Amino acid sequence: MSLRALARYGVARSRLGVLLRQASQSGAGGPLGARVPAAATMYYKFNGFTQRLVGAAASAAYNPQGLKPIVSTESPALIFGTTTKLASDLPAAGSFLGKNKVPDLQKLFQKADGLPVHLKRGVPDKLLYRTTMALTIGGTIYCLVALYMASQPRNQK
């Protein structure tokens, strides 16, 4: 996989830097490797519009899709002094309007069972799909018959 492809997947510059340094040590030392500072702390992501690498937060570089909850790699905000937290300020046990089922659904829909996406959920999907198929195929036959009859002359003596 090329470095550009790695960058496309949002590989952090620190990892890219490691790869580049390895490349420069093994080879004669490419022009790219020379530019990487010793302590790489900046992160990049691939910008889809400009087709270039642009600066990004560590979280965006590691998870460009933002799909997975991540462990924060940034230092927390400094706290000056202590505040008393009221019980009502604490987050409630259940989240607002239902809980997050996306991770479970991601597991379900990424299962390697060979099923196409429209049938991945099993029986309900199959029922809906077959109903739609029956309606469209049956309807097309009915439609062709109706159009054929409508094309016949109205009065035949």
Partner 1 sequence: MAHQAHSYHMVDPSPWPIFGAAAALLTTSGLIMWFHYSSMYLLTLGLLSMLLVMLQWWRDVVREGTFQGHHTPTVQKGLRYGMILFITSEAFFFLGFFWAFFHSSLAPTPELGGLWPPTGIKPLNPLEVPLLNTAILLASGVTVTWAHHSITEGNRKQAIHALTLTILLGFYFTALQAMEYHEASFSIADGVYGSTFFVATGFHGLHVIIGSSFLTVCLLRLIKFHFTSNHHFGFEAAAWYWHFVDVIWLFLYMTIYWWGS
Whether the CB-CB separation of 13 and 41 falls below 8 Å is answered with no
Residue 29 or 73: the one with the smaller Cβ distance to partner 1 is: 73
Please report where in the chains the tokens 């196409």 appear, as a residue: 116
Minimum CB–partner distance for residue 35 and partner 1 (Å): 24
Residue with tokens 């409630």: 92
Shorter beta-carbon distance to partner 1: residue 18 or 146: 146
Radius of gyration of the chain (CA): 29
When the beta carbons of 65 and 83 are compared against partner 1, the nearer one is 65
- Tell me how far, at minimum, the Cβ of 19 lies from partner 1, in Å: 16
CB nearer to partner 1: give 18 or 108: 108
10 Å CB burial of residue 49 (0-12, 13-18, 19+) is exposed
Question: Which of 52, 47, 17 has the alpha carbon at shortest distance from 35?
Answer: 17
- Distance of closest approach, residue 129 Cβ to partner 1, in angstroms: 7
Interacting residues toward partner 1 by CB under 8 A: 1, 5, 8-10, 46, 48-49, 60, 64-67, 96-98, 100-102, 105-106, 108-110, 112, 116-118, 120, 128-129, 131-133, 135-137, 139-140, 142-143, 146-147, 150
What residue has token string 């094309």?
Answer: 151
